[in-house]
A and B are shown apart, each in its own frame.
Chain A
Amino acid sequence: MTVTQLVRRPRGSSSDGRGLLARGLGRYVPYATAAVVLALVALLFAGTDLNGMPSFVAIAGLGYVLAQTVLSVVIEGRRRAVDRLVTALVYAAFMAAALPLLLICWYTIQRGIAMVDLTFLTHSMFRVNPQEHGGGIYHAIVGTLIQVALASVLAAPLGILTAIYLVEYGMGRRFARVVNLFVDVMTGVPSIVVGLFIFTAWILVLGFNKSGLAGALALAIVMLPLVIRSAEQMLRLVPDDLREAAYALGAPKWRTITSVVLPTALGGVVTGVMLAVARIAGETAPLLLLVGINQRIEFNPFAGQEAQRPQESLPTLIFEQFGVAAGNTDAPPFQRAWSAALVLIILIGLLSLMARLVARFARTAR
């Protein structure tokens, strides 16, 4: 086969292979098609009793894909037409998948933004009538940050050490298989069950009070399998070549792990931990059982006596305010719930962002 056989379209063709706009239909035909379809659908909506944004988008989208396919079959032939059709379907699937996410963000911002101001972020609900405007969620932010930090301090080292055991020492040992099974089971346990477990073990059996700490314990258990699995994957990605190189230089096993394996996997491990943190920051079910409701600022996660109610947290505050609103969607508590949700989402978003930055930094640092 010669080279010239492969180069067929000498003019007006793009070589990047995507060619959605370039070949056959040319650059402007798809846009023109879209404009025509839009106009026709608009006419249709004006002329009949069809209405509403969702149905407009659906009909216009369908019409465009149809028109494009027909045009493409006629002008470009079957192969390109199928190509375009599949591409369109893939894009449509993507948009369908992204839609709920976008809607969640949109609603939360739209409903939540009104109440979020400096007062809201720096005041508690102490001596504020939740049915009226005023007060803030500072106490819940403090509680969530402290509980999540506590849970991470417990779960991250334990999880990373377990992952090290599984990857570096486990190798086909029976105990490693047992650990693996446990991690799998833990991943599948619903968080409300974890909450019940801590409630029974920590509060009923050991006799402690409800507290931020009790909540953090449950969060740590939810977090643990996530950390183990992500760290395990990252450690397995470290090539054996590097381990062998270290051993061949007379490094003992622990030294190889601390000085070669962990630093090499560090970026990924940290990213995994932070994503797990982001995941538990919004965890609600166990906190409802273990932390309870408090209107005041409480820095002490151990607090949980009669006089000292346990720490509030963002998820429980949202739940509480939603309950107080009792279905009245215009009431201040309902708005407060949305605003707290917005703050929670932003908090989690920041954590995920930090995880990405850490990952990127670690990659370039090599």
Chain B
Amino acid sequence: MTEPRQGTAKQDEDAPPVQTFLRYTHRGAPGLADTVFEVADLSVYYGDYEAVRDVTMAIGRRQITAMIGPSGCGKSTVLRCFNRMNDLIPGARVSGKITYHGEDLYAPEVDAIEVRRRIGMVFQKPNPFPKSIYDNIAYGPRVNGVRKGLDDIVEEALRQAALWDEVKDKLKESGLSLSGGQQQRLCIARTIAIKPEVILMDEPCSALDPIATAKIEDLMHGLAQDFTIIIVTHNMQQAARVSDRTAFFTADVDDQGVRHGRLVEYDLTGQIFTTPSDKRTEDYITGRFG
């Protein structure tokens, strides 16, 4: 029983450091001149509990931004602010400001449904509807009033999500009949089909095996040509592999002993993984955290 454990531990030690996965070698570091979101002093509350405190960051257009950090530090919470998914949780509210192309996302006249039509989301657990593959993809366009040309939209979305060849002969079959990795790509295709500008992904690969993960990472590189992507991940190699910028969050304990999530450091991914400016970032990345 103990032998395989040693094996795993050994493998981990032999694994190359995270830095080797950086993608800058082939993409070059993009600037932040063209931004989609500007977050200023964002705090998020669940009832009286301030889950995240004073986050300030800007999200670059057609870039992949990764959010990393230990469990419970508020990555999902912040991510769900970008498409106002937190509105659905009773008692959740935000203070501070998020602007989307200069417009205040939380202004009273902003329609949250309209926001979600522009800012799509992929969840941690693949969650296809119990409908056919075709209807899964067509759902978003239909809800948004598209009646004609659905066939083309479905095909294009499935092609972009690198799923078309696997499912083109069984579009009428249930989305639930696919494997976990295929289901997650189906969910990505479903999101692409509404042609959002931004895609939010909350640990999209955590339920998948390495091969399916690799497929989705490849896919993200392709999607970054057209979409702005924000991804939450626990896998630092993944953050290093796919992202242009990385935000490192952690949870601080305040005077009253309450934990609040905080943005510690936000920079080019290469910077974060090679020369982090904060000790906590360095500890987390090198695995010395906790």
Chain A contacts to B: CB under 8 angstroms: 171-172, 239, 241-242, 244-252, 255, 259-260, 263-264, 366
**When A241-B123, A241-B125 are in contact, do A249 and B88 touch as well, CB less than 8 Å?**
no
- Inter-chain contact A171/B143, CB cutoff 8 Å: no
Taken together as a complex, chains A and B put the C-alpha atoms of A366 and B116 apart, in Å, by 27
Closest 7 CB pairs of A and B: A250-B117, A241-B127, A249-B140, A248-B121, A366-B130, A251-B143, A250-B116
- B interface list, Cβ under 8 A from A: 83, 85, 88, 90, 113-114, 116-117, 120-121, 123, 125, 127-131, 139-140, 143-144, 174, 176, 187, 190-191, 194
A-B contacts counted at CB < 8 A amount to 67
Q: Return the contact of A249 from the options B125, B174, B191 (Cβ within 8 A).
A: B191
Instruction: From the candidates B88, B127, B187, B191, name the one contacting A239 in the complex (CB within 8 A).
Output: B127
Q: Is the CB of A171 within 8 A of B90?
A: yes
Candidates B90, B125, B191; contact of A248 at CB < 8 Å: B191
A residues less than 8 Å from B174 (CB atoms): 366
Closest approach, in angstroms, between the C-beta of A267 and any C-beta of chain B? Answer: 10
Which residue of the partner chain B has the closest CB to A264?
A: B130
Shortest A288–chain B CB gap in Å is 45
Closest B residue, CB atoms, query A238: B130
| B123 and A247 form a contact (CB under 8 A) | no
Residues of A within 8 A of B187 (CB): 245
- Supposing A248-B121, A248-B191 touch, asked if A366 and B139 sit within 8 A by C-beta, the answer is no
Which chain A residues lie closer than 8 Å to B88 at the CB level? 244, 247
Residues of A within 8 A of B139 (CB): 246, 249, 251, 259
Q: Separation in Å of the A9 CB from the closest CB of chain B?
A: 25
**Which residues on the A side are within 8 Å of B83 (C-beta)?**
248
B130 partner residues in chain A, CB cutoff 8 A: 242, 263-264, 366
Distance (Å) between the CB of B139 and the closest chain A CB?
A: 6
Q: Which residues of A contact B191 (CB under 8 A)?
A: 248-249
Q: Within the complex, which residue of A172, A245, A252, A259 is in contact with B123, where a contact is CB–CB below 8 Å?
A: A245
Q: A259-B139, A366-B174 are in contact. Are A249 and B116 (CB under 8 A)?
A: yes
Residue contact B144 to A250, C-beta cutoff 8 Å: yes
With a cutoff of 8 Å between Cβ atoms, the chain B residues found around residue A247 in the complex are 85, 88, 116
